A and B are shown apart, each in its own frame.
Chain A
């Protein structure tokens, strides 16, 4: 900025009449627009503050231990959503394990095994297209495949598998990036002492890439916690009174319960939904915090 204005004054002394007004108006435009750009960015932040503010004001009084200890009730003042919390934990555990195994396997294949070219490019394009498929379409896939064709019915397993498919591309892409960041020298050193390809991957590449892989998986799983649409489609129940006892049990999840409460006409239930959203956001922020911690603690300046 200062360099420009200096330039402006130098020039204006040379050809005063012609240049001065234009330079200063251009500089003024530049200054003005820097404020406009900053305003745009700040408005995004303000929206975030407004969003959290509204949630806190509405939900604060309803944020009691009852909310996480009690089960669903028709009376908002005694209602909680413990079954939904446990449902979410089960869902995320199933989806996380499935997408971790499949995703890391795929990433290893693409980065360490696959020859460059045709087939690999096809797989890569396919994965990036999968990551853009709307979540509700994954719901339709899960409904037709798991609920109806495999006749699992509207059980936790069907929801967990659907969520696993939904976050699989995210895990693959994050794992690929982590594996790609492992320096080539590490692999070459291992190969040069006679390690096989799998030994190189298992003993050297994976341990070095694991912080990045875990970070990506945690972020993917936190996406799964907030997803609602696929669960509605594969038949998570809106109202459940008991915690799920296994993968073949009926279930609900935190966002399902929030959806159900938000739709109620009574404002008490809407405030209860705000409290439940706060719980959900705290869970998500915690997971994001863990992911960032892992990335910085385990992954910083190692090479």
Chain B
């Protein structure tokens, strides 16, 4: 860039205005620094991927990937070690399923109520309450599951059939945890449906319920599906509830009344004991972490794709 010095004859005794672009060096430095800040977020992603891959690959040198992915026995902390991840995946999917069964209908109905039915005064109370529920740390839900849901709600119901640590209590607490997320994301989607659609439905004589469920909700379906997938991804990655309440035994069964270990639960369980850096247990954490990362990442990408691909444009 040829820096040509243009001098403006200043008649007022001030220095001539410098238009050379030289004073922009500082500007350019700031631009570069800001770019580096932004690039740092890419480094974080790269760091996560590399760290997980590096340790996982060392792990897969000892344990073949197929044994890991399709093996049905996980006994990392015994003498005779088995590295089949399926019991952990099953634990994760079961607790997640229980959570979704609770959170999806309640969340969706709350979203419809808040957006379509609630008076402003009711909304101004209920919405902050849901936000409050969303701000409760997960360790608190874990405490709730372990000391209340399991012994005081489920024990009287199921008696001796239910174990103290069980997947059902953890799943229920997890459902309460993701309920506000499901509700607020779906509500955003439902609220963004333009009023003209509702008015058209009312003009045809539809009742409020018919308008909500046959016009508004179908129009918001892409956002609702995205909300569903995001909530599920959150449940899969949730750690403290299952670490406290679901037990530490990877099992092969399907009963939600038994204890079960999830992928996240395994990671925490290993660290609660002593883990030696570089040992096979240490590396197995990263293999499980990699699988967890890939599952949640693909769901997040899927939810963004659904939201974009099936979004209806209303003008």
Contact = CB atoms under 8 A, between A and B. Distances in A.
Contacts of B41: 102, 106, 123, 126-127, 130, 168-169, 172
Contacts, number: 250
B240 A228 contact: yes
A259 B24 contact: no
Given A137-B293, A226-B138, A26 B210 contact: yes
Q: Which residue, of B118, B236, B240, has the highest number of chain A Cβ atoms within 10 A?
A: B240
Q: Which residue, of A26, A123, A136, A141, has the highest number of chain B Cβ atoms within 10 A?
A: A136
A58 B146 CA distance: 13
B222 interface: no
Nearest to A42: B126
Contacts of A110: 38
Interface in B269-304: 271-272, 277, 285-286, 289, 292-293, 296-297, 299-301, 304
Contacts of A44: 106, 110, 129-130, 133, 179-180, 183
Interface stretch (A45-53, A69-77, A89-97): A45-53
Contact of A30 (B44, B208, B267): B208
A106 B142 CA distance: 35
B207 A137 contact: no
B142 A198 contact: no
Contacts of A281: 136, 140
Nearest to B137: A226
A215 to B, nearest CB: 13
B180 A129 contact: no
B101 interface: no
B114 interface: yes
B209 A262 contact: no
A102 B37 contact: yes
A interface, by DSSP: helix, strand, loop or mixed? helix
Given A123-B42, A144-B51, A144-B55, A137 B237 contact: yes
Interface in A103-142: 105-106, 108-110, 113-114, 122-123, 125-130, 132-141
Nearest to B110: A41
A79 interface: no
A228 B51 contact: no
A6 B110 CA distance: 28
B113 A41 contact: yes
A65 interface: no
Interface in B130-174: 130, 132-133, 135-140, 142-144, 146-148
A48 B133 contact: yes
A273 interface: yes
Interface stretch (B7-15, B25-33, B70-78, B80-88): B25-33
A258 interface: yes
Contact of A197 (B27, B106, B205): B27
Contacts of B39: 123
Interface string B208-250: 1110010000000000000000100110111110011000000
Given A134-B292, A137-B292, A138-B48, 7 more contacts: A44-B110, A48-B132, A106-B41, A134-B236, A134-B238, A165-B44, A259-B240
Interface of B: 23-24, 26-27, 30-31, 33-35, 37-42, 44-45, 47-48, 51-52, 54-55, 105-106, 109-110, 112-114, 116-118, 126, 129-130, 132-133, 135-140, 142-144, 146-148, 176, 179-180, 183, 202, 205, 207-210, 213, 230, 233-234, 236-240, 243-244, 264, 267-268, 271-272, 277, 285-286, 289, 292-293, 296-297, 299-301, 304
Pairs of residues from A and B, 3 with the lowest C-beta to C-beta distance, nearest first: A226-B137, A134-B237, A105-B37
